[in-house]
Amino acid sequence: MSDPVWAIAIHGGAGPAHKSDYSDETKHMRNVIEDAKQALIAGESAINVIQTAVRSLEESGHHIAGRGSSPNKDGKWELDAAIMDGVTREAGAVGALRGFKSPIDCARTVLAESPHLFLVGKGATRFLKKRKLERVQNPSRYYKPAIDLPIETGALQHGTVGAVALDSDGRLAAATSTGGLLNKQPGRIGDTPLIGAGTWADERVAVSCTGQGEYFIRCAAAADLSARIRYKKSDLTDAAACVLEDISYLGGQGGLIAIDRLGRVTMPFNTISMKRAFATWRGDLEVKVF
Ligand code: ASP
């Protein structure tokens, strides 16, 4: 019998390089990939594996997501996240969320327990605080912004985190979580929690994007990648390259990770770097920044 096909990919954001040594980040990403790999080999579902991977990236404080997020212009932390199950196309998302340690756990809770798909702001808080989710009691003490450079509004730095996986039962899933663009306006929500823009999974492909969210929204980037496979019969790498070309054409910057149902992985970006890693059933494992 041949080995079951599985694959996992993660990212820690696309952007300019603000330092030369990313060894802490790459070490942590390697651990995340190793854990995800073991879970997939043990038969865990793609959606559980990507949720765990993204939670770990959020907790690490290495990226502009979860603990490493920066405050908005008003000094408040408003975070976005989404998760999507490719089998059922069920999804959950949160936007401009305040006061929870793991936005991806919140998104999964919305998927599982809310009649709605996307909750934002105070309504999201009201719904989620009744659930067993870890709260942030003291934001200025809890958050440790991964970037503390003086930054112009909307500037792109290594930020968002994401994960996509194919499990050994052929199920695909995608998750993305972010603190958003630096120094953003209160209430600004980017592509990350918008299903079809920054996050998408169906029976063909799972996609998680990173970059200047406004451009990814205007290109319906993640859903467009799937549509190219479905309607044009493009292969994964071509479809992803075309999506990124569209974003570049509009003047946008960023990257994405995607896995298809055959376990192929692509990770294109048009920035100087994108923190990224993947592993597959074939035994390959790679962690890269540049
Ligand atoms: N795409 C994210 C946003 O626009 C930012 C990022 O990926 O760095 O909120």
Which pLDDT score, from 0 to 100, does residue 157 have?
63
Q: Is the pLDDT of residue 153 over 80?
A: no
H or E element at residue 95: strand 91-97
Specify the 3-state DSSP secondary structure of 255.
Answer: strand
* pTM (predicted TM-score): 0.96
The b-or-e profile of 90-118 (16+ CB within 10 A means b, else e) is ebbbbbbbebbbbbbbbbbbbbeeeeebb
Query: 210 in ligand 1 pocket by Cβ < 6 Å?
Result: yes
φ and ψ at 8, to 5 degrees?
-140, 140
Beta pairing, strands 91-97 & 7-15: unpaired
Q: Is the pLDDT of residue 36 over 60?
A: yes
Specify whether the CB–CB gap between 109 and 92 falls below 8 A.
yes
Which pLDDT score, from 0 to 100, does residue 33 have?
98
Which CATH code for domain 7-288? 3.60.20.30
Specify whether the CB–CB gap between 112 and 224 falls below 8 A.
no
Task: Please give the distance, rounded to the nearest whole angstrom, from the Cα atom of residue 78 to the centre of ligand 1.
Answer: 13
Which pLDDT score, from 0 to 100, does residue 1 have?
63
Specify the 3-state DSSP secondary structure of 164.
Answer: strand
**pLDDT digits 0-9 by tens, 252-287:** 999 999 999 999 999 999 999 999 999 999 999 999
Active-site residue list: 160
Beta-carbon count within 10 A of 21 CB: 8
> What type of residue sits at position 233?
K
Which pLDDT score, from 0 to 100, does residue 147 have?
78
Q: pLDDT grade, residue 145 (50/70/90)? A: confident
Which pLDDT score, from 0 to 100, does residue 2 have?
74
Query: Domains of the chain: which residue ranges?
Result: 7-288
Query: 26 in ligand 1 pocket by Cβ < 6 Å?
Result: no
Give the position, in ligand 1's atom list, of the atom nearest the Cα of 254. 7
Compute the mean pLDDT over every residue in the chain, rounded to the nearest whole number.
95
**pLDDT digits 0-9 by tens, 182-205:** 889 999 999 999 999 999 999 999
118-120 sheet: strands from edge to edge: 118-120, 91-97, 79-85, 172-178, 161-166, 7-15, 273-280, 285-288
Q: Going by CA atoms, what residue is nearest to atom 9 of ligand 1?
A: 180
Query: 181 in ligand 1 pocket by Cβ < 6 Å?
Result: yes
Between CA 225 and CA 267 the distance in angstroms is 13
Residues of the chain with pLDDT > 70: what percent? 96
Which pLDDT score, from 0 to 100, does residue 16 have?
86
Which pLDDT score, from 0 to 100, does residue 3 have?
81
Beta-carbon count within 10 A of 17 CB: 13
